[in-house]
Amino acid sequence: MSQPPLSPIYYFDNNATTRVAPEVVEAMMPFLTEQWGNASSAYQFGQRVRPHLDEARAKVAALLNADPKEIVFTSCGTESNNTAIHSALALHPGKRHVVMTAVEHSANLKYGEFLQRRAYDITYLPVESDGSLDIHLLDRAIRPDTAIVSVMWANNETGVIFPIDEIAAICRSRNVLFHTDGVQAAGKIQVDVRSTEVDFLSLSAHKLHAPKGIGALYVKRRTRFQPYLVGGHQERGRRGGTENVPYIVGFGRAAELAMARQEEENTRVRALRDRLEQTLLGTVPNCVRNGAREPRLPNTSNLGFDFVEAEAALMMLDQAGICASSGSACTTGSVDPSHVLTAMGVSPLRARGSLRFSLGVYNQESDVDYLLAHLPGMIARLRAISPLDAAHPDNDRFDLAAARQRHEQERGPSLAKAGSPTTGG
């Protein structure tokens, strides 16, 4: 299928996925070309790749200050989250209660709904208006039949960081297993499983400049574990399935790079994010930040623009080559505001006009200049024809469906098809 050539992009959606680092591609290539043997084979051609798997495991472990034996490679962050909760429930059949926050990624929330349909009881903890968690509520939610608590380390939409140390301490004192979804945190901020005692922690390589389709679950050494995928003896019997050697090697290299670049993430990337955010807050009327300023991931900014449809803004941004996202989900015929912003009590009007910008080490000052040169004018244009401002005389001029159709004709399939969730990570 022939595609028009790609025009330059200005990428502000690193929480959805990241560009694969050239160093990662380079590390993977030998295992896609010459060294394609099965690491579990008895002959030398397969056995020769085994040390590379071990090396990658050690690098991923180092990112968390874990022991390599505590790392189980999976296919993605979603599998890691599902596996942790599954393991806790399978090993404690008498305990049918799970606690998670209302702002978890769908990789957790949808598994919670799946469990509810099987008569498990799930408590979804509410959050404060700045996206933070009142840990007293967590303490009160834990019951004698609670099998596991699952709270993300950092939120993918707002970047708000939860007090994982304190949550881990509560779970330990109440003798309840604790899983944290560390998909957005690892590599961006310090994540140390020796100083923060979690039982399980999920990782996803494609948030760290490695390819999609490879993840890991940290399982604390003495935490009992029941596999989710049952099959071969791979991963010391903890996850069946022939090891994805090239991707595991790529993940290892990406973990190594993330450690080396963490300082840059917290200084240069943070400064870019702050310039972007401060300029928009200072120059665009009726623009507010969603979520606490701190503690927050250094790369994430979630901003609400009143009287704007985020989906329309994303289309305009896309036409200028700018990639960003909203937390909204498109269900047939309507746009549902983000579950994260809704849980924070953000009004539907503001939630529908909220955009997430997530930066990364490949962003430059010139990317921020470009965004700042385009976005304020786009917001003004959208507001001038906003169907959300009921008092506006031109309120019937903006036709979202027609805009989407035009957009698809010009740029290919839309960012958001009706019926498919748009929550990109």
User: Rule CB under 6 A: which residues touch ligand PLP?
Assistant: 76-78, 105, 107, 152, 156, 181, 183-184, 204, 206, 215, 425
In this structure, the strands spanning 300-305 and 322-323 are unpaired
Amino acid (one-letter) located at 188: K
The question of whether 330 is a catalytic residue gets the answer yes
Burial of 160 (0-12, 13-18, 19+ CB in 10 A): buried
CA pair distance 351, 164, nearest whole angstrom: 27
* Minimum CB distance to ligand PLP, residue 184 (Å): 5
* Minimum CB distance to ligand PLP, residue 80 (Å): 8
* Minimum CB distance to ligand PLP, residue 269 (Å): 17
- Give 239 or 404: the residue with its C-beta nearer to ligand PLP: 239
- Give 78 or 223: the residue with its C-beta nearer to ligand PLP: 78
- Give 187 or 425: the residue with its C-beta nearer to ligand PLP: 425
* Minimum CB distance to ligand PLP, residue 160 (Å): 12
| Cis check: omega of the bond before 211, within 30 degrees of 0 | no
Give helix 400-411 / helix 310-319 axis angle, nearest 10°: 30
* Minimum CB distance to ligand PLP, residue 323 (Å): 15
- Give 301 or 386: the residue with its C-beta nearer to ligand PLP: 301
What sign does the dihedral 161-284-422-122 (CA atoms) show? positive
Q: Please provide the size of the chain in residues.
A: 425
Residue facing ligand PLP at closest CB distance: 77
* Annotated catalytic residue, options 76, 287, 323, 330: 330
For residue 322 the two structure tokens come to 């700018």
Q: Can you list the alpha helix ranges (DSSP code H) found in 102-185?
A: 106-116, 135-141, 164-173
* Minimum CB distance to ligand PLP, residue 319 (Å): 25
Helix (H) or strand (E) holding 406: helix 400-411
Helix (H) or strand (E) holding 257: helix 245-264
Amino acid (one-letter) located at 386: S
Label residues 366-382 b or e (16+ Cβ within 10 Å = b).
ebbebbeebbbebbeeb
Task: Please provide the distance, in angstroms rounded to a whole number, between the alpha carbons at the two ends of the chain.
Answer: 28
- Give 360 or 425: the residue with its C-beta nearer to ligand PLP: 425
For the chain, the farthest-separated pair of C-alpha atoms sits apart, in whole angstroms, at: 76
* Residue listed under structure tokens 């009004």: 347
- Give 312 or 329: the residue with its C-beta nearer to ligand PLP: 329
For residue 183, which of 72, 105, 71 has the smallest C-alpha distance?
105
* Minimum CB distance to ligand PLP, residue 67 (Å): 23
Residues 6 or more apart whose Cβ sits within 8 Å of residue 131: 103, 155, 158, 160, 290, 291, 292, 340, 344
Helix (H) or strand (E) holding 218: strand 215-219
- Give 159 or 304: the residue with its C-beta nearer to ligand PLP: 159
* Minimum CB distance to ligand PLP, residue 206 (Å): 6
For residue 187 the two structure tokens come to 């590599």
Tell me the CA distances in angstroms from 287 to 303, 308, 356, 376, one per residue in order: 7, 10, 13, 10
For residue 129 the two structure tokens come to 């208006």
- Give 107 or 371: the residue with its C-beta nearer to ligand PLP: 107
| Residues labelled catalytic | 330
